[in-house]
Structure 1
Amino acid sequence: MSDSSKRPGRLVAFTAVACLGFAAQAQAQVGPLLWEDNFNTLNTDHWNVIEGDGCPGLCGWGNQELEYYQDDNVSIEPVPGESGNSAIVLEARNQSVENRAFTSGKLDSKNGVSVKYGMIETRIRVPNLDTGLWPAFWLLGTSTSPWPAKGEIDMMEMGHKQSYIDAEFSGANINHFVGSNAIFYADAACVPANPTCAASTAFETDNAYLASTSLADRFVTYRLYWTDQSLRFSVVDNGTEYDMYDSPIPVNEESSEFRQPFYLLMNLAVGGNFTDALQNSQVTAPLPAKMYIDYVRVYEYNGLGEVTLGNPSEPETGTFGVFSDRTDTSRSLASGETSDIYIWSTNSLVGGNAQPFEGSEVISWDYTAPGQWFGGGVQSRQPLDMSNFVDGDLSFRIKVPANVGFRVGITDTYTNEHYIDFPAGEEKYGLVRNGGWSQVTIPVEELTGELIALQSVSYPFAILSTATTPASNVAIAIDDIVWLGGGDANTGGGNDDDNDGVDNGTDQCPGTASGAQVNALGCATTDAQIEAEDYSNFMDADVGNNGGAYRTDDVDIEATTDNGGGFNVGWTTPGEWLEYDTNLAPGTYQVSARVASLNGGGQFTLSEGGESVSANIAATGGWQVWQTIDLGELQINADASLRLDVQTGGFNLNWLRLEQTSGDGGDDTTPPAGPYGVEQTSADTLAFYVQSSSWADIHYSVNGGGQQNVRMTQASGENTYPVSGLSAGDTLSYSFTYWDAAGNMAVDTATQTVIVQ
């Protein structure tokens, strides 16, 4: 699935040349689960619902697609035939919107979830494709570079032109054929017929899987095994894994795009140049049609794997170097490695021969086309979070003739740009027009204007001509470009009072417990499915893995045939135990487990912080006949570690699911609605309050400790009861039974949780 656009301008200077090669990998091993989404709900912190047809900038999404994407075509629905399981659904319809004859659904995780390396797995069911439907699950680089220089990874694509299918499998049915691909920028691919210079690993290769039965209307699992040395694509069909390519695709210096983070995309396109339907009348696929995505999971692979939630860029701090040799900086871009210097006006600018102001490198350009515009800049290969510099400055050295007007600005990844004008002859911000070097310092608050998103900067420095272009050939030189005033580099710039990695300025949940998993807004995750095989510690009664799958320690793990595939823990015996790290927000959670047992009678306890829930497992009809059982509610504290103790063996465990039923998700101490609640009255005190009541019974505990009970009585007005001696980060869990002034019970609350600020 491509997102086509041209590479802007010409890359100049500081180009490295390296030998290309592929190093053999050590024995492959899939490690712990790093992140997953089982699509019980649509998490809009992680996923963006795409709308439109790409116009005006990229009509038809660069592929002549015929559909209009809209929110209404994306939904969470039960999976047909799989009780209790849900999936995200993308539905294509024969529906006219905005001059498009079809509508459909598309999601991406840009600025929500980014991945670098690991084993990525998804379980997908496609409809009957016939002619015109084009389902895809793919990835694009988070790089600021245009396609294909940012890189594209296509884990699965179906709906190919029949001629493409016939080239590999003559006469094969479109519903039996699925392919994969990796696309990157290569100079060798720059030919007149390929102006984007896109190099495709699928070009003239056997990169596909042909199923013996139709892939439509049933689930298939797709995997990408990704390291800094290779990409491997596979399909798991009816329990058997098939490689898409004959061997893994090497990743090297030419394809270094694949050594950067990527975000995820999924869509069901209608028509386009990938298919045999370039016109509305050529679409014959039955509509409406639904594509189901059951889950997305990312595992560590060969010791590699990173998942970032929210903005993939850490905020820059201190003094940030854009192009500088000797200035002391907290961090700097490196030309040809983490940044590129582009000339946009290749007809008017060429490389010059000016001497550097400092160090050994300089941006030196000769303007050779009087009357034409000029422009260029320094582009970071990854978005830069410059939000700590809102009160700082952009400083640079420049040597420019007095009769040359120019503009200096920055751009963000949302295509916003803003410039400060320096008309010919005018001196400001420190500019001196005497033919030598001068230092210009522009306040960032003036440089950003009204639209620039400092948290996602693409070009931290750009220079253009003004409307009045030079009337003669001139030389321009720029050096020592730095951002100043980004806060204390040792503390990460701004303040992060709750230590969740999100600055106070953007933290919408400022009371999040330290260690809790949070999204880009600093709000804690409030539910999780824990795979049985992803334990952090264990005790197993025998030596060796009886199932021989997934891990090489003594816990017994096998592949499962349960919905969603993956693995289960088995061969359980009394006295064995497993521990799991949760990173959940404090609160009360409903716990369920996915179990199987031939004979029944198994028992285990799940505990945390002195509280526990128990499971009694009946016979399910077989070791791979699965049932979901309810264990009840469990209180979870900050930085919790769950322990599963086996009392009676003879059962298999696929997963544990925890869904929060109460608790504030790590939010602040905003009280619940009504004339009662909790407020923080000092640095170490929380106080219960109740108004105009006859009395209120309150049950509370601090940090999961023993329960305390208190009754407050008040005929009118307000009464408070303080709980003191607390520290920042402590959790107070409580419930109210509240009677109004007339003696009628007004509310009986479930357990609530607040956190000391």
Structure 2
Amino acid sequence: MPRESEKMMSPRARAHVQAFAVAITVLIGLATPALAAFSLVWSDEFDGTSLDTGNWTIDIGDGCPNLCGWGNAELQYYRSQNVAVSGGNLILTARDEAYGGRQFTSGKVHTRGKHAFLYGRMEMRAKIPTGGGMWPAFWMMPQDDVYGGWAASGEIDIMESANGTTTVGGALHYGGTWPANTSTSSSYSLGGANFADAYHVYAVEWEPEQIRWYVDGVLFSTRYSWQWYSDGAPDNPLAPFDQDFYIILNAAVGGYYTGCTDPACVTATLPQQYLIDYVRVYQETSNQAPAVAITSPTAADDPPAGDIVIAATASDPDGSVATVEFYAGATYLGEDTTAPYSFTWTSVADGCYTIVARAIDDQSAFGEDAVEITVGSGCGQAPFHGTPFALPARIEAEDFDLGGEGVAYHDTDPGNNGARYRLAEAVDIQDCSDVGGGYNLGWIYQVEWLEYTVDVPVAGTYTIDVRVASPSLGGTFHLEFAGVDRTGDVTVPPTGNWQAWTTVSTAATLPAGVQVMRFVPTLQGFNLNSFEFASPTATTDLPATGLALHPCRPNPFNPATTISYEVQDPATVDLVVYDVTGKVVRRLISGEAVVAGRHEITWDGRSDEGHAAAAGVYLCRLSAGGDSRTIRMALVK
């Protein structure tokens, strides 16, 4: 249990989430595990005019002499002058100013020695900084290195983002003490929108045998205890994530995660501010959460545009209901403290919305109910996250367009057989055990289809990796863009189980512009998890040069990354990894004859001698027929 649990927050002392600046606001309500009754045990709402030093310590310096650059080749010097509390926010400001031998300054705070926690929901609402070299983070480190130095005692990265901030990531670090450490990570995007444009809620739900990551209530990753370990406790299946961890907030400039370790490559317009509205910690208690149900409107009502009265019933089995809050997606509307509970939502425009009622009891535990409604003429077909997926991107299969049956999808039965995620839709969505967790589509039949609106910024040939699973028979599918089959039938092989996942790859040559991708199963017998589009090969590039080297994935990486390349004709190929001084680190391919087409190879982060390469930026060069291509890669520790 946490060392600090005495500070409680009034149920009414909570910030209100602003609306996204998009025509259609559709977000899944703030999620809570069905069996968990979470109560607030600690928070900082940053409502004062100065940092509460009973909660936080300001980090000072650049990590030197013991950990220069904080172990990540960061370029900033942390100062107290870059930390402020104003306007209901903790503000960490990154500046272009020389200090302490560094070109940049920024802010960092932590709760070590003041507040540490074991298990629970750790949540932050924040607006992050953006631009080349920016690296905002919300993370946790062990209060004590019980199992050894980093990362044998663990690290939990709740949220981190870099550079253009169109994706955010979550990660675990574990294993042995550096350099024998390892990590697993996942990322989440808004389909091309920038996380720096609005406030978002970032959270993990940490339990003994699993950790789940959320953005705005949407689960995007799950890690299980069988996926982590500590060399310091080989017989303890829960280690290292069974100890107290403290919270860290910082806005780094540069570092391996950004791929920028030299001041000259920082292109962000400074100063940049990391605005944190609140940090909250909830934990499971014996107190039972209240029950709440929205009674009006219902999913079948289709109310007209204008004022809409939202009504709900709420009760608490072992206490009393303090308030019922009402949301449109993640946007706070208002609350009612007296039964019967209701709120009048005024001037509602035509569109599709998820309305949420959250009942909070006298011990801060909460329960929720959500209803998806169509107002007036509805929303027609529209991207699920409000904006098209900007390629290259990872598209989760469950994030198909809004619009419903016959518009955004066709499904042969009326219900969601998996009873997960988008409960008002007829598409069958279930929990997924693939790497990263989340959801997948099941019960797929060949007469069905789903559509996704994508934005193709550059015409070219896009490689598409599709995650699929099939117990015995396999199946086939194709992808249409703007009504044209661009892939032909793609074969799904048998994998032995509905949750035994593999990747099948295809390619599509696409014109530039916003267009609708339609997934069409042509032979049933498989589950679908995601589509991942790589950066394109320009349509004029490969025929002219006969050679293409694609960005490695993942990047940054630890411990391994996959490099893919293409040759137009049979060729003799060299593929070599260099450090930034030009020294050869690893010869992945040396004078090997390859056939025409696309090829992949994995670099395990080791040198030709078998030694683990140091964290840093590396160059990978492909050479064939007197021509060459080079990409940059960042190995992180």
Range of TM-score over shorter length = 0.3 to 0.5
TM-score between the two structures when normalised by the length of structure 1: 0.35
Larger relative contact order (CA 8 Å, sep ≥ 6):
2
More strand by share: 2
TM-score between the two structures when normalised by the length of structure 2: 0.41
Q: Tell me which structure has the larger Cα radius of gyration.
A: 1
